[in-house]
């Protein structure tokens, strides 16, 4: 399976069986496209590691079929030569299963070009050698896939790829629905649209997910008078959704509480986010 970028370069390659390739091609052709910025990726990875176990439902997905690319790696895998390579993209779709019920299927992709860039930084390749290899191979290469039954809680002790990498994907879904995420839509420009149509592909918009920068902490809950500031760590909180009659995790971002200018208590480091 091969997917071409708008400039004609090979973007994705899947070396698995013909039936698997056909299914993945169909998925990529019809998938909604998502791009997650670097800082939002870091939050999804960190939040995913502590996300409470819950039964993922179809309503939790931002789209029935999707292809998501992360600006930074969400994990690492090894390629056929044993080299460590970054996992930076994934597809998902809902697969009907008459016996078990609908299955949520993930396919994960490694960034072969990112691995070449890392080799240049480590002095293992020259920039010219890396560029030559990029021209000869796709950027994203199929790595592995896994599925889980929709509406059934995962095993909290599961250390499989689905639980470790899939949790980051699900965390990204939940986070992009909150006010801490900035969602924008980027349309292909005129030249890109023409190139895509020449290749028989219909141009699609990409939904870009970025982290909204916090503007600062509050002075408390209004019912008490505080004389210090303190850090509230980022954490998940279960929130009730009356329309769906379910609880879903909601990420509470790290923030500072207490009156501005008051002494800070606690020995944790404070990282300043600046626009």
Say yes or no to pLDDT of 139 above 90. no
Please tell me the predicted confidence (pLDDT) of residue 27.
81
Task: Tell me what the mean pLDDT of segment 173-195 comes to.
Answer: 89
State how far the Cα of 182 lies from the Cα of 16, in Å rounded to an integer: 36
Q: According to the per-residue pLDDT averaged within each range, which of 102-106, 150-154, 225-229 is highest?
A: 102-106
Report the mean per-residue pLDDT for the chain. Answer: 79
Which distant-in-sequence residues (6+ apart) come within 8 Å of 203 by Cβ? Answer: 6, 187, 188, 192, 193, 196, 197
CB burial string 199-235: b at 16+ within 10 A, e below: eeeeeeeebbbbbeeeeebeeeeeeeeeeebebeeee
State how far the Cα of 86 lies from the Cα of 203, in Å rounded to an integer: 27
Which two three-digit tokens encode residue 50? 């502590």
Task: Tell me what the mean pLDDT of segment 261-274 comes to.
Answer: 52
pTM: 0.76
* Short-list 74, 190, 78, 232, CA closest to 144: 78
State how far the Cα of 235 lies from the Cα of 249, in Å rounded to an integer: 10
Place of tokens 């639980």: 163
Say yes or no to pLDDT of 83 above 80. no
Task: Tell me what the mean pLDDT of segment 108-131 comes to.
Answer: 88
Instruction: Give percent of the chain above pLDDT 90.
Output: 24
State how far the Cα of 51 lies from the Cα of 269, in Å rounded to an integer: 23
């Amino acid at each position: 399976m091969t997917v071409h970028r708008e400039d004609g370069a090979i973007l994705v390659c899947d070396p698995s069986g013909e039936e698997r390739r056909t299914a993945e091609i169909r998925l990529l052709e019809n998938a909604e496209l998502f791009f997650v910025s670097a800082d939002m990726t870091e939050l999804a990875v960190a939040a995913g590691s502590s996300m409470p176990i819950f039964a993922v439902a179809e309503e939790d997905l931002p789209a029935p079929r999707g292809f998501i690319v992360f600006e930074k790696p969400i994990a690492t895998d090894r390629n056929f030569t044993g080299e460590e390579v970054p996992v930076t993209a994934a597809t998902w779709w809902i697969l009907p299963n008459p016996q078990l019920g609908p299955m949520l299927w993930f396919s994960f992709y490694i960034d072969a070009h990112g691995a070449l860039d890392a080799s240049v930084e480590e002095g293992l390749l020259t920039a010219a050698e890396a560029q030559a290899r990029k021209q000869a191979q796709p950027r994203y290469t199929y790595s592995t896939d896994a599925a889980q039954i929709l509406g059934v809680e995962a095993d909290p002790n599961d250390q499989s790829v689905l639980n470790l990498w899939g949790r980051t994907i699900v965390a990204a879904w939940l986070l992009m629905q909150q006010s801490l995420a900035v969602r924008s839509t980027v349309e292909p420009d005129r030249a890109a649209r023409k190139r895509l149509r020449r290749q028989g592909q219909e141009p699609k918009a990409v939904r870009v997910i970025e982290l909204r920068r916090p503007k600062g902490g509050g002075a408390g809950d209004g019912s008490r008078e505080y004389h210090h500031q303190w850090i509230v760590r980022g954490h998940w909180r279960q929130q009730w959704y009356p329309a769906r009659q379910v609880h879903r995790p909601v990420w509470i971002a790290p923030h500072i509480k207490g009156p501005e200018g008051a002494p800070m208590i606690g020995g944790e480091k404070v990282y300043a986010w600046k626009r």
